[in-house]
Structure 1
Amino acid sequence: MGNPWDRGPRPPRKGPPRREGDARPAPAGRPERGAVPAAAGWPQAREPDAAAAPAPRPARREEVRLYGLNAVQAVFERRPQAIRKLYLLQSRVHALRPLLAWCVQNRVGYRVVEAEDLDRLAASSHHEGVVADVLRTAPLALDDWLAALAPGAPALALWLDGVGNPHNFGAILRSAAHFGAAVLLPERSTLALSGAAARVAEGGAEAVPLVRLPDNDAALARLHAAGFASAATVVRDGEDLFALQPPARLVYVMGAEGEGMDPGLAGACMHRVSIPGTGAVESLNVAAATAVFLAHWAATRC
């Protein structure tokens, strides 16, 4: 019968209107005025020269407020120049000493604050003693990501169709970082990295390429032309994942819990794949299912 993964792509079929994810970028808020005095290393703002004509401001890149020790440390290790402000508890000074020294050398402001200040800054009590405002990384274009792949090299990607919960997104990023997968974001998806997602990802968000897709048909065509098989992950009536030998280049399409994925997109994929189970529960959480799919692909590369 041959390997079912070797079947060619199905002709694209139009589906119902596309859904957008429900995640929103984290607010860029600021600490309450007068709450905490500035610590050493906080650059003082210069008063403008009233006689000078105002200079045009450069375009400001969007910032995101991240929290969690591993999330902030990962930004420092990979792109320290993105850090704009830092807030931390006194108890974290020793662990973050290299980062604080870098802040002083590069005139990046930091403040030692109380736990309740971090609770307000992060809008969460799960900040682990540190909050940072950092520049957001723009997603790659699909063509740029494909061009950067080594010719013929194995590659794995996750297409997130409708996934919007930031904690699920963070758990998916953590698994993607562990198994070396990229994350593909649909054209109209509002899904973006937030403080909650970065904390759950435990530093993995900095290691995962985020790729912005064109419309569904164009994206699938380019992925197929680059040697990727496409597999819609479905709760039931799909091919048994563990009976398949996945190809070296594969993109799994993951749908939102409850709503599932766009039927037109699922129908245009080469395969429909399910994780077999006991039936005691209807399905796995999307983040847990993602880890299973990624682990199965990685096991076949050993």
Structure 2
Amino acid sequence: MSAGDRGCGLLSSLLWSCFACDSFAGYSCGPACHACSSTCVAPQHNLDNVMKQHDGRGARPPREGAPLASTAGNPWNRSPPRSTPAAAPSSTTLASSGGSPAAGRAAGHARAEMRLYGINAVQAVFKARPQALRKLYLSEARIPQFKALLAWCVSQRIGYRVVEEADLSKLAASAHHEGIVAEVLRVAPQPLQEWLAALPQGPVLALWLDGVGNPHNFGAMLRSSAHFGVAGLLLPAGSTLGLSGAAARVAEGGAEAVPLVQLPGTATAMAQLRQAGFAIAATLVDGGQDVFAAALPQRLVYVMGAESEGMDRAFARDCDLQLSIRGSGKVESLNVASATAVFQAAWHARVLA
């Protein structure tokens, strides 16, 4: 049978693929396959009709009162089979959610997964840890660009859906989604000792975030950290800072390149870092040594302060170095994300070059 005779086919998971080139190419029922440009021989299967009846989740739910179909093959059904009872939430989860089992499950799910958006953010997750993908939403225009990702979704039975731009804006809670949104598993911050044990010998740069809270600044810091090869972003004990969709979007893929590290108490963290050969540098708006004139250690942790107040002065006095960025004086200071990039560039040029 020729490719033209075979036309478009429907996989067992109700995901459309092209039989002309034997590859998945998104919703290929339409004028042509996105992968091989073979014309569909079933013109009645146009994209609009396909989207009304099927998507990456499989068949639509039955009408009220109709017999329920099996959900065993539905990639959007994440509940365990009935023969396998779901694990009960831990006492910690229940306590943090007010004691309700339902609330505990919801709280655990919220912590375990996050919603990313933006081309580079989603591509970075797919490249670094594709198994973390849970659901995918994209516009029709993005199908050709994400053929490999969609093929992965089919092979792993991960639910996906082609949706309108307005729906993507709602899913992302932002207009800057670039035509794609993904739900992915979070990566928990590493404990400090575990992170230290895995570090290579020689030059290492890290950031200690002392009060940084703005997700856009956080994302910009992740982006510059990835650019300059920073080994980790250290989060203080009790910090609520974590990766969000907005931060990952601003990071442009950098969030997958720079691990987050959870610190113990300040005194313990400083002692463990120094024992591992790190010097700790306070970054000050003024009063510190010019970072471009200072002798920067090969193993260094910059402490970056909060957006408005800067870093704690008592903490700054306990650091091994106090550094500043000299400027014209026409503005009070740089934004914390901009200052971070300058400090990183100074270390990179002086130590690695």
Q: TM-score range by the shorter chain?
A: 0.7 to 0.9
For residue 41 of structure 2, what is the aligned residue in structure 1?
none
**1:44-88 CA distances to partner (integer Å, 9 max, x unpaired)?**
67279xxx6771337666101000000000000000000000000
For residue 134 of structure 2, what is the aligned residue in structure 1?
84
For residue 170 of structure 2, what is the aligned residue in structure 1?
120
**CA pair 118-247 structure 1, distance change in 2 beyond 3 A:** same
For residue 85 of structure 2, what is the aligned residue in structure 1?
55
Distance in 1 (CA, whole Å) between partners of 2:153 and 2:285 is 48
Aligned with 1:160 (options 209, 216, 222): 209
Distance in 2 (CA, whole Å) between partners of 1:82 and 1:65 is 12
Q: Percent same amino acid at aligned positions?
A: 61
Structure 1 gap segments, 5+ residues each: 1-35
For residue 46 of structure 1, what is the aligned residue in structure 2?
71
**1:153-172 CA distances to partner (integer Å, 9 max, x unpaired)?**
21000000100000000000
For residue 109 of structure 1, what is the aligned residue in structure 2?
159
Q: Does the alignment pair 1:64 with 2:114?
A: yes
Aligned with 1:170 (options 204, 209, 219): 219
Structure 2 gap segments, 5+ residues each: 1-50, 60-69, 90-107
Q: What is the count of residue pairs matched by the alignment?
A: 263
> Bigger shift: 289-298 or 36-45?
36-45
Q: Does the alignment pair 1:257 with 2:272?
A: no
Distance in 2 (CA, whole Å) between partners of 1:39 and 1:192 is 36
What is the DSSP-based 3-state SS (H/G/I as helix, E as strand, rest coil) of the residue aligned with 1:156?
strand
Distance in 2 (CA, whole Å) between partners of 1:217 and 1:37 is 59
What is the DSSP-based 3-state SS (H/G/I as helix, E as strand, rest coil) of the residue aligned with 1:96?
helix
Distance in 1 (CA, whole Å) between partners of 2:191 and 2:171 is 32
1:1-302 → structure 2 map (5 Å cutoff)? 39-43=54-58, 46=71, 55-57=85-87, 62-151=112-201, 153-181=202-230, 182-300=232-350, 301-302=352-353
> Bigger shift: 223-232 or 37-46?
37-46
**1:166-190 CA distances to partner (integer Å, 9 max, x unpaired)?**
0000000000001111110011110
Distance in 1 (CA, whole Å) between partners of 2:316 and 2:259 is 23
Distance in 1 (CA, whole Å) between partners of 2:211 and 2:52 is 43
Question: What is the CA-CA distance between 1:266 and the residue it aligns to?
Answer: 1.4
Distance in 1 (CA, whole Å) between partners of 2:88 and 2:226 is 33
Distance in 2 (CA, whole Å) between partners of 1:250 and 1:38 is 57
Distance in 1 (CA, whole Å) between partners of 2:325 and 2:130 is 40
- Is the CA contact 1:39–1:110 (under 8 Å) kept in the aligned structure 2? no
Q: Return the structure number with greater relative CO, CA threshold 8 A, min gap 6.
A: 1
